Amino acid sequence: MLWTLIQREILANLMTFRFPIAVIACVILGLTITAALTDNYERRLASYNEAFQTHQEKNFSAKTYSGLTLQLDRPPNPLSLFNQGLDKRAANSVRLHRDKVPSVWEDNYFSTGFDNPFRHLLTSIDIVTVFQILLSLLALVFAYDAIAGERENGTLHLILANPVGRGLIVLSKYLSAMICLMLPVLIGFLLALMLQLQSSVIDYSTVDFLRIGGILLTTIVYVSAFYLIGLLISCISRRTATSLISSMFIWVVLTFIYPNASLFMVNHFIETEEKIEQADREISQIMEGFQREKAKLKDPFAPPFLLKGRWGGGSISKDVVRVEAESELEIPTVKAYYQELEPQRLRAVAAAWLVRKQAYSETFVHRSTSARNALRLSPAGLYYLATAAYAGTDLAAMEAFFKAVRQYRQTILDYFYDKKAFSSRQWFASDKGAVRWDDLPRFSYQALKGLAADSSRASGELLRLLLLNLVLLIVAIVVFSRQEV
């Protein structure tokens, strides 16, 4: 009996104008946005390659240890074509100093002007955004007259005259509609993927295809959730017009109003300025303490100059290219100065980072966590969070880059200690030969590493979507079972 009902409903859906419109809309919009995004990705990748080559040539051109300053680049993520997330808005190039610990929050705040990366998540256009809007609308269009239309036309009496349970009627309408909706989803998704693969710069690995499979699965579950919302409204409504109007209102609220309003509320009511200012004051005290300790040491490059010769450099880096003969006797004193000064500087920087890290945890991290929790109350928010995790474009993925940069900074510091660089002549002078950086480990970062961590984050959101589907289906069956025809 269930299969008979499903066949009837599939035929009914295929015979309406909705199915061809769904297919055409998914194909046209999917291909159009994919073509634009692929071209944009190719440009971003070319820009990254150019910047990477330029920075590689400059990064290790320093002639002294103290002059080492690196520009580290994050490659664009090809899966950002599906969900851009924070891939385009987070910093993609970080200047690494020994006297600063980099953080996604600080660099992102000063480069983009907003302190919560979730704040403008709905302003980017990608495949997921198109599907988020289009497919949720199509799902509701398929669902609004599923029960209300049968009731209004009087055919519901004929169906119930047969020995069939009301639960089976709801289930058959759900399964048949999902079969019909999956066809345009799969067609649009596969055509978009095929168009991406035509690009010479996109080469997905097996793991990447698993990630794409996760995005597709999440898309189907998301469509299912909106269809069940429409089906529940149809069960409650007596008129198709009422069902359609209610469905459109719910669609606007869940897809546009609530996600943006919730993020606005989070950003507006969770204050961060006071704690950040407090952290800045603590850091200022730490650095003032360092400056006092530094003042106790005699700076050989402050008047009256201990060294005579020719040099250049800034406040924390020097490059002495010529030392007068009479100043050679002062070289050990200069070495001792930096041997004592630089460890003090690094300890002050480490203490300042602990303060900053705690402040970030209590402000920006707390704000982003609240934003994520608020988004979970909307199917559109769950869909975004899950697909961003699968694509590796969420906040955790961006933080992974900065974590890799911090680890590399520590690698450089360990390298300095191993080389006894602080107490060497080459820390401040290249007159006896420039530093050779051949044995310094190079920075390496891959945007998409292991699938396990990203899938773990995505699975939580996907399970919430599945649970929402189950609850909506049960509620729809219960409501329809208790109603009079």
Please report which confidence band the pLDDT of residue 111 belongs to, taking 50, 70 and 90 as the band edges: very low
Distances (CA, A) of 260 to 264, 365, 380, 393: 6, 19, 11, 19
> What was the pLDDT predicted at 124?
63
pLDDT at 113 over 60: no
- At 485, the pLDDT band (50, 70, 90 cuts) reads low
What are the φ/ψ torsions at residue 463 (nearest 5 degrees)? -65, -35
For residue 310, the SS3 value is: strand
The pLDDT of residue 115 is 44
Omega before 304 within 30 of 0, i.e. cis? yes
More confident residue, 323 or 223: 223
- Please state at what angle helix 127-143 crosses helix 18-59, rounded to 10 degrees: 160
The mean per-residue pLDDT over the stretch 393-414 comes to: 92
Calculate the average pLDDT of the chain.
Answer: 89
Phi/psi-derived region of residue 270, left when phi > 0, alpha when psi is between -120 and 50, beta in every other case: beta
Q: Average of pLDDT values for 89-104?
A: 86
How confident is the model over 368-373, as a mean pLDDT? 90
> Which tokens go with 398?
């961006």
DSSP letters along 266-302, please?
HHHHS--HHHHHHHHHHHHHHHHHHHHHHHHS--TTS
Q: Is the pLDDT of residue 108 over 60?
A: no
Please give the structure tokens belonging to residue 221. 């579950």
End-to-end CA separation in angstroms for the chain: 21
Q: State mean pLDDT over 414-432.
A: 94
Looking at per-residue pLDDT, the higher value among 225 and 88 belongs to 225
| Residue the block writes with tokens 């606005």 | 264
Per-residue model confidence as pLDDT tens digits over 153-199: 888 877 877 778 889 999 999 999 999 999 999 999 999 999 999 99
Partners of 310 in the β-ladder: 322
Going by C-alpha positions, the residue among 102, 96, 98 that lies closest to residue 414 is 98
Dump pLDDT digits (tens) for 211-249.
999 999 999 999 999 999 999 999 999 899 999 999 999
Predicted local distance difference test score (pLDDT) of residue 164: 80
Instruction: Check residue 106 and give its pLDDT.
Output: 67
Handedness of CA 192, 194, 197, 203 (dihedral sign): positive
Q: For residue 305, what pLDDT band results from cuts at 50, 70 and 90? A: confident
Residue bearing the bigger pLDDT, 363 or 224: 224
pLDDT at 117 over 80: no
How far apart are alpha carbons 283 and 279 in whole angstroms?
6
Say what the pLDDT of residue 72 is: 92
Q: How many CB atoms are located within 10 Å of the residue 236 CB?
A: 17
